[in-house]
Amino acid sequence: MNVRVFRTSEEAAHAAASAVAAQLRRKPGSKLGLPTGRTSLAVYDELVRLHEAGAADFSRAHTFNVDEFVGLSCRHPRSFCSFMEQHLFGRINLPPAHVHFLNGGTQDHDEECRRFEGEIAGLGGLDLLLLGIGGNAHIGFNEPGRSLRPRSHRTRLALETRRANAPLFDGRLQAVPREALTMGIGTMLDARAIVLIATGRSKARAVGSMFAGRLSTDQPASLLQLHRSVEVLLDLPAAEKLPESGFDAEA
Ligand code: GLP
């Protein structure tokens, strides 16, 4: 894994946006996997800026978001789908037909997950997967547990994760759905390249688990060690628990 540590979260976000823009320049028809969450906001703002500056053309790209709450359709204002529309899709030139989401509003979740996997495979797989990370080392909504599932599936959310997502629901924990649909770890590992961004001290422990030299389903992000092209972008607080101090902040 290649690690880059930046002095500020903003610099880390800019590096993530640059990686996406560079991917689009290399291959305009790239298939991108995308996260939601607070960390991604600065990345999407920078991508919009790059788009407006003519440095990021999404007209031939396809996007696949990694997760969605069960029970929330794309029209629901609290859905991750609405989040993406508000913070990225509505501000760039990505054709609406090129947006791919796990629809949390469907009745048959297994069928929805199969459909989503089929769309990824049908378009040739993900070229670049951008990920955030949960404080408990979840990626997408693959939560810590005794086992992990390789392909997209319905999952129960950890209490810690529901608490972390409460701000999206006006701080009301009871309003945060208890289940979600998520891209599976195997589908993530099938991506040709992965860029993970983590900022803030609350992510330091989870980030450390990716560099501990052990694979554990209790630390889902640790499985990224199996991938041959992962770039980890951190600010200084998120880098606090890296094994040795061999990672200096970029000037
Ligand atoms: C959320 C999302 C993930 C995201 C992670 C980090 O719950 N399901 O896709 O990467 O947790 O979120 P944040 O950036 O808000 O800390």
pLDDT in tens, 64-84: 999 999 999 999 999 999 999
> What's the predicted TM-score (pTM) here?
0.97
CA–CA separation, 132 and 64 (whole Å): 14
Residue 138 catalytic?
A: yes
Which of 39, 64, 80 is the pocket-test mutation for ligand 1 (most atoms within 8 Å of CB)?
A: 39
- The overall average pLDDT reported for the chain is 96
Q: Which of 36, 66, 78, 87 is nearest to 166 (CA)?
A: 78
> Is the separation of the CB atoms in 102 and 71 below 8 Å?
no
Q: Where are the alpha helices (DSSP H) in the chain?
A: 9-26, 38-52, 80-87, 109-122, 159-165, 185-189, 204-209
Residues contacting residue 102 through CB under 8 Å, at least 6 positions apart: 65, 67, 68, 112, 113, 116, 152, 181, 182, 183
How remote is the CA of residue 57 from the centroid of ligand 1, in Å? 25
Residues 218-238: pLDDT tens digits? 999 999 999 999 999 999 999
Q: What is the largest CA-CA distance in the chain?
A: 51
